[in-house]
Amino acid sequence: MAGRNDADFLSDEMEEDYDIYAEDEEEEEASSAAAEESAEGASAEGAPSPQETDPEFVPFTHLHVHSHYSLLDGAGKIDGLIKRAKELGMTALALTDHGNMYGTLEFYLKCEAQGIKPIPGYEAYVAPGSRADKTGSMKDSNCHLTLLAMNETGFNNLLILSSRAFKEGFYYKPRIDRELIKQYNEGLICLSGCLAGELPRTLYRGNLSPEAYAKAKEIALWYKGVFGDRYYIELQNHGIEEQKIVLGPLAQIARELGIPTVATNDVHYILREDYEAQDILLCINTKSYRTDISRMRMEGDQFYMRSGREMALALPEYEDAVRRSCEIADRCSVKLEL
């Protein structure tokens, strides 16, 4: 066994997981899946793409996506996410579940089968200091960071990071830290994260004060120093007041430091009308009643898989950030040997 590293062992585990997945699913789904694919293929044959039929089509790739493997948080199943991406004329799709890569194999195989480029990813929980420090409240125990695999090296590094987060950094959530990020950044694209990311959180918790702005710039510079041109500042607009407050400052920091921005939607359900189902999942997760006004909730109904046109309308001043989602997708190409 000499010379085998963490990634080798994790790859072996992935192969074993694939065998189990295939055996469990094959008999149950083979006939129905074949019928569905046949029907879809017949109906889609010769059908024009959205790019051809919609004069207002805007190319876009979703790079911040949660499935039902974001346990009791994401409401979209992988089949539905892929189907919706195809309906919207998208050619690639990322999966970035909270703190885990449980759905990666299913996602990869089903994307490949449907002609969608899979971009394996992971929304990491990052400890504020060392992952070994397990003190303080849950609220302050982590921030979010979006990581995407560009290639096989990046994919192996995602496996290592997610595994070590559980083994070494678990405190309320499985956490990595800057030490691990610096050690295993090769082959990864890093996005700054949602409102729970270190960068936007620093801005709005600091009420956009000069001190908070300076601290946010330090954070962005650290990540740029590690990832170089593989670091992007995420811009989001789900109609949440805090997002509107930090949107301009985030874009300004990006301009001042020469960091590209990218538009993302924090997808937690597939269609807009699915927001109630996702809200019920959150209630189960937090052991709360929907009538509890002080409970955790995701404000509004905009955390769905928007079309490129909807993304452009949500971020009208940031056309480059919308377009850059496809540029990032073009930089990613992961081929797994299974």
What are 82's two structure tokens? Answer: 């892929």
In the predicted structure, residue 141 carries a pLDDT above the cut 80: yes
Confidence label for 28 from pLDDT (cuts 50, 70 and 90)? very low
Q: Contact at 8 Å (CB) between 64 and 265?
A: yes
pLDDT (average), residues 281-309: 84
pLDDT number for residue 286: 79
Q: How confident is the model at residue 338 (pLDDT cuts 50, 70, 90)?
A: confident
Would you place residue 40 in the very low, low, confident or very high pLDDT band (cuts 50, 70, 90)?
very low
Assign 219 a pLDDT band (cuts: 50, 70, 90): very high
**Mode of pairing for the β-strands spanning 188-191 and 117-126:** unpaired
Q: Which of 31-40, 76-85, 123-132, 257-266 has the lowest mean pLDDT?
A: 31-40
- Tokens 């000499």 correspond to what residue? 2
pLDDT given for residue 298 in this prediction: 77
Question: Would you say residue 13 has pLDDT above 90?
Answer: no
pLDDT for position 47: 63
pLDDT average, residue stretch 109-123: 98
Phi first, then psi, for residue 79 (nearest 5°) are: -55, -45
% pLDDT > 90, the chain: 73
- DSSP code string of 217-240: HHHHHHHHHHHGGGEEEEE--SS-
Alpha carbon distance 198, 144 (integer Å): 7
Q: Mark out the alpha helices in 45-187 (DSSP H runs).
A: 50-53, 78-87, 104-114, 152-168, 178-183
Per-residue confidence (pLDDT) for residue 315, from 0 to 100: 97
The pLDDT, as a whole number, for residue 18 is 45
**pLDDT for position 192:** 98
Q: Residue 21 pLDDT > 50, yes or no? A: no
Q: Which amino acid is at 123?
A: E
pLDDT band at 90 (very low <50, low <70, confident <90, very high): very high
pLDDT per residue as tens digits for the range 162-199: 999 999 999 999 999 999 999 999 999 999 999 999 99
pLDDT for res 4: 47
Domain map of the chain by residue range?
Answer: 56-331
Q: Lowest mean pLDDT: which of 38-42, 96-100, 251-255, 262-266? A: 38-42
pLDDT tens readout for residues 307-318: 999 999 999 999
Dihedral sign (CA 12, 17, 18, 22): positive
* Res 217: pLDDT: 98
Q: Whole-model pTM?
A: 0.85
Residue 241 has pLDDT above 70, yes or no: yes
Residue 3 has pLDDT above 60, yes or no: no
On whether the CB atoms of residues 151 and 199 are closer than 8 A, the answer is no
In sequence order, what are the beta bridge partners of 123? 98, 146
What letter represents residue 217's amino acid? K
Mean pLDDT of the chain: 88
pLDDT over 70 at 35, yes or no: no
Q: How far apart are CA 125 and CA 22, in angstroms?
A: 30
| pLDDT at residue 253 greater than cutoff 70 | yes
Q: Is the pLDDT of residue 97 over 90?
A: yes
Q: Which CATH class is domain 56-331?
A: alpha beta
Question: What are the residues facing 145 on neighbouring strands?
Answer: 124
pLDDT at 44 over 50: no
